């Protein structure tokens, strides 16, 4: 288990966890919001996230690090730089021009891949990215999320035979206050 205390402190200092009335991307209402888009604009936070994930995978045989657009791309990039692993970016959908790729970066058959995400609620967007990797010949070994809202993502991943590894759970953050 990685020591996430410093990351929690950084997120608090930068007011990433907001309390109030919010509507989430899913349309669900919540009394708090995790503003990871703000967090990932700070180099110190990105660096700490990258160090924690790189430390967690240091004994694994991993070929690539992947992140779905948009929020996870800076995280995956930071992990790529820290770990020296090549980067994959997963689009939400194939573009209708140019190469029309769903995955940007070179994914080879049987590449061992870790995926990263900024925040999970139900885990749907990250599971979609994992499916894209697997449908294109990659093997997802581990899935990391910076903040798990603890609203079903871990269970959804377990049903797919994948362990979701949050750096921080929402309850853990609020317990620290």
pLDDT for 95: 60
- Residue 142, annotated as binding a ligand: no
For domain 5-175, the CATH architecture is 3-Layer(aba) Sandwich (3.40)
- Residue 117, annotated as binding a ligand: yes
- pTM confidence score: 0.91
The pLDDT tens digits for 61-98 are: 999 999 999 889 999 999 999 999 999 999 977 665 55
**What Å distances lie between residue 154 and 144, 163, 168, CA to CA?**
11, 7, 13
For residues 166 and 174, what is the distance between their CA atoms, to the nearest angstrom?
Answer: 15
- Residue 120, annotated as binding a ligand: yes
For residues 12 and 63, what is the distance between their CA atoms, to the nearest angstrom?
Answer: 33
- Residue 105, annotated as binding a ligand: no
The pLDDT tens digits for 20-50 are: 999 877 778 899 999 999 999 999 999 999 9
């Amino acid at each position: 288990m990685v020591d996430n205390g410093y990351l929690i402190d950084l997120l608090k200092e930068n007011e990433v966890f907001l309390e109030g009335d919010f509507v989430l991307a899913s349309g669900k209402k919540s009394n708090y919001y995790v503003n990871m888009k703000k967090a990932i604009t700070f180099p110190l936070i990105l660096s700490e996230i990258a160090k924690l994930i790189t430390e967690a995978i240091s004994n694994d045989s991993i070929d690539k690090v992947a992140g779905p657009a948009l929020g996870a791309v800076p995280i995956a990039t930071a992990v790529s730089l820290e770990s020296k692993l090549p980067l994959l970016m997963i689009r939400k959908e194939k573009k209708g021009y140019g190469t029309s790729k769903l995955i940007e970066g070179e994914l080879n058959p049987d590449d061992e891949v870790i995926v990263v995400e900024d925040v999970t609620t139900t885990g749907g967007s990250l599971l979609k990215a994992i499916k894209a990797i697997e449908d294109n010949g990659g093997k997802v070994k581990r899935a990391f999320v910076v903040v798990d809202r603890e609203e079903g993502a871990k269970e959804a991943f377990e049903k797919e035979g994948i362990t979701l590894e949050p750096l921080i759970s929402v309850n853990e953050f609020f317990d620290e206050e």
